Amino acid sequence: MSDERLDVRRTAKLFIGGAFPRSESGRSMEVRGAGGALLAHAARASRKDLRNAVRAARAAQPGWAAATAYNRGQVLYRVAELMEGRRAQFEAELADSGAADPPRGVSAAIDRWVWYAGWADKLTQVLGSTNPVAGPYFNFSVLEPTGVVGIVAPPDQALLGLVSRLAPAIVSGNAAVVLASEQHPLPAVSLGEVLATSDVPGGVVNILTGRTAELVPWLVGHMDVNGVDLTGCPADLAAEAEATAAENVKRVHRGPATDPFDARARSPYEITAFTETKTVWHPIGA
Look at the chain and report how many structural domains it folds into: 1
Residue 28 above 90 pLDDT?
A: yes
Computed over every residue of the chain, the mean pLDDT equals 92
* Rounded average pLDDT over 18-25: 95
Residue 252: per-residue pLDDT:
96
Residue 281 above 90 pLDDT?
A: no
Whether the full predicted model's pTM is greater than 0.75, yes or no, is: yes
Residue 1: per-residue pLDDT:
58
Percent of the chain at pLDDT exceeding 90 = 74
* Rounded average pLDDT over 55-67: 98
Residue 103: per-residue pLDDT:
96
Residue 73 above 90 pLDDT?
A: yes
Please list, in sequence order, all residues whose beta carbon lies within 8 angstroms of the beta carbon of residue 170, skipping any fewer than 6 positions away: 64, 72, 76, 149, 176, 200, 204, 205
Residue 277: per-residue pLDDT:
85
Instruction: Report the alpha-carbon distance of residue 235 to residue 249 in Å, rounded.
Output: 21
Per the structure, the complete domain to which residue 109 belongs is given by: 45-258
Q: Is residue 191 assigned to a domain? A: yes
Residue 233: per-residue pLDDT:
95
Q: CA 53 → CA 15, 62, 74, 177, distances in Å?
A: 8, 15, 24, 6
* Rounded average pLDDT over 99-116: 95
Q: Is residue 83 assigned to a domain? A: yes
pLDDT digits (tens, 9 = 90+) for 127-166: 777 777 777 878 778 889 999 999 999 998 899 999 999 9
Q: Is residue 20 assigned to a domain? A: no
Residue 286 above 60 pLDDT?
A: no
Q: Is residue 207 assigned to a domain? A: yes
* Rounded average pLDDT over 203-217: 97
Q: Is residue 15 assigned to a domain? A: no
Adjacent-strand bridge partners of 28? 43
Instruction: Report the alpha-carbon distance of residue 21 to residue 24 in Å, rounded.
Output: 8
Q: Is residue 28 assigned to a domain? A: no
* Domain harbouring 53, CATH code: 3.40.605.10
Give the DSSP letter of residue 255.
-
Q: Is residue 182 assigned to a domain? A: yes
Q: Which residues in the chain belong to E strands, given as ranges? A: 28-32, 38-43, 129-130, 137-145, 148-152, 175-179, 205-208, 227-229, 251-253, 275-283
With cut-offs at 50, 70 and 90, classify the pLDDT of residue 184.
very high
Q: CA 94 → CA 87, 152, 229, distances in Å?
A: 11, 19, 23
Residue 126: per-residue pLDDT:
81
With cut-offs at 50, 70 and 90, classify the pLDDT of residue 64.
very high
Residue 4: per-residue pLDDT:
85
Q: Is residue 153 assigned to a domain? A: yes
* Rounded average pLDDT over 232-240: 94
